[in-house]
Amino acid sequence: MKLSVLAEPNDRRIAVVPKVAQKLADLGVQITLQSGAGNASGFSDADYGDHVKIGDRNACLQGQEMIIGIHPLDDEELAQVDAQTVLVSEFKPFFDKEISDRLKQKNLQAISMDMIPRTTLAQSMDVLSSMASIAGYRAALMGASHLTRYFPMMITAAGSIKPGKVLVLGAGVAGLQAIATAKRLGAQVEAFDTRSAAKQEVESLGGRFVEVEGAKEDTGAGGYAVEQDEDFIKRQREEVQKRAMNADVIITTAQVRGRKAPILVPASTVEKMKPGSVIVDLAASTGGNCELTEDAQTVVKHGVTIIGDSNLAAGMPEDASTLYSNNLFNFLKLIIKEGALNLNFEDEIVQSAYITH
């Protein structure tokens, strides 16, 4: 089977690192790597060794049975790909609802890494968790570095400094990592989530769970949160507003699959925050949890720095690429047998990820 690995035009990560390329070669796959694709993650072409062919982008787009990247190709490049090629990327079909039809019309097949179910069995393939964990860690670091004040309590000869207060909204994978990191840096952390299961997780990390009664939950939603009604959102905003006025850093990660992110921090709350405070909004790409967030921008509004970044994992490209490609390999070894594609559509993982089937 011929497989290529593309460079990401707008991302420092690469989907396959040298160690994983070696493991794929051991599965009997012939790999072509786009020249220089690993450079920004710290992997040179030479690091990939002799079992990987180096080619230009055209060589990676044509004559392959499988093309691997992190972000989907644009229509212009899709037109260059041979029919029946299997594309592996994060297609985000919950947001790009026509993607599987568009690919099917072009006679292409697609595996969407973000559609792998969040089950125990698929945990080793879960790119969303790996990337969210890095994003949460970096969100806490960015909050700390943009803040005009300390995170830890400091007692010095020059005076005493009170510990910073961090409020985390959405305690999923990213939120929990943000809590753990902010705690390690010495901040006092409060967190909120609509899923009641999050309470225990927040407390086990030393955070304080903020209670807002009456959240809707759905055990059939695969562990994901469901959209809340207006009354709940209103009460939640009031609770957030009270805490936000005291917070030094707010980290927001609240997402609802396939929908716009809920606004949890309206402009009126930002106005009441202390100058020099920071909001790190990980939900920026789906509209943001803060009303004043601008996607992929850092802006200062009412004296508060608002960082809108849903791709914080790309800022730590070496480890992000390593984890991404380990997840990818764990999936590929399920569908590649003796160097050929072997798809079992009875398997829930294959069924969910294979969005053109």
Residue 224: active-site member: yes
**Interaction of residue 225 with ligand NAD, rule CB under 6 A:** yes
- How far is Cα 176 from Cα 183, in angstroms, rounded to an integer? 11
Identify the bridge partners of residue 89 per DSSP, sorted by sequence position.
Answer: 112
- How far is Cα 270 from Cα 263, in angstroms, rounded to an integer? 12
Q: Among 69, 93, 170, 308, which residue sits at the site for ligand NAD (rule: CB under 6 A)?
A: 170
Strands of the sheet containing 208-209, edge to edge, are: 208-209, 188-192, 165-169, 249-252, 278-281, 304-308, 298-301
**Interaction of residue 237 with ligand NAD, rule CB under 6 A:** no
Contact range with ligand NAD by CB under 6 A, out of 43-51, 178-186, 253-261, 292-300 = 253-261
**Interaction of residue 173 with ligand NAD, rule CB under 6 A:** yes
**Interaction of residue 118 with ligand NAD, rule CB under 6 A:** yes
Q: Among 192, 329, 331, 354, which residue sits at the site for ligand NAD (rule: CB under 6 A)?
A: 192
**Interaction of residue 125 with ligand NAD, rule CB under 6 A:** no
The length of the chain in residues reads: 357
Pick the closer one to ligand NAD by CB: 239 or 319: 239
Pick the closer one to ligand NAD by CB: 262 or 308: 262
Buried b (16+ CB within 10 A) or exposed e, 267-286: eebbeebeeebbbbbbbbbb
Contact range with ligand NAD by CB under 6 A, out of 86-94, 168-176, 304-312, 318-326 = 168-176
Query: Residue 135 CB: number of other CB atoms within 10 A?
Result: 27
**Interaction of residue 132 with ligand NAD, rule CB under 6 A:** yes
Pick the closer one to ligand NAD by CB: 257 or 302: 257
- Give 344: exposed, middle or buried? Use CB within 10 Å, 0-12, 13-18, 19+: exposed
Number of chain residues interacting with ligand NAD (CB under 6 A): 31
The residue type at 22 = Q
Pick the closer one to ligand NAD by CB: 253 or 293: 253
Spacing of C-alpha 26 from chain mean position: 29
- How far is Cα 181 from Cα 139, in angstroms, rounded to an integer? 9
| Residue owning tokens 């070669």 | 25
Greatest CA separation for the chain? 71
In the complex, what is the shortest distance from the CB of residue 186 to ligand NAD, in angstroms, rounded to a whole number? 24
Contact range with ligand NAD by CB under 6 A, out of 41-49, 242-250, 255-263, 267-275 = 255-263
Q: Among 93, 143, 164, 172, which residue sits at the site for ligand NAD (rule: CB under 6 A)?
A: 172
- How far is Cα 232 from Cα 238, in angstroms, rounded to an integer? 10
- The residue number with the shortest CB distance to ligand NAD is 172
In the complex, what is the shortest distance from the CB of residue 87 to ligand NAD, in angstroms, rounded to a whole number? 23
Q: What is the CA radius of gyration of the chain?
A: 22
Q: Among 8, 114, 126, 309, which residue sits at the site for ligand NAD (rule: CB under 6 A)?
A: 126
> Active-site positions?
118, 123, 126, 129, 224
Instruction: Give the binding site for ligand NAD (CB under 6 A).
Output: 118-120, 123, 126, 128-129, 132, 169-175, 192-195, 198, 223-225, 228, 253-257, 262, 264
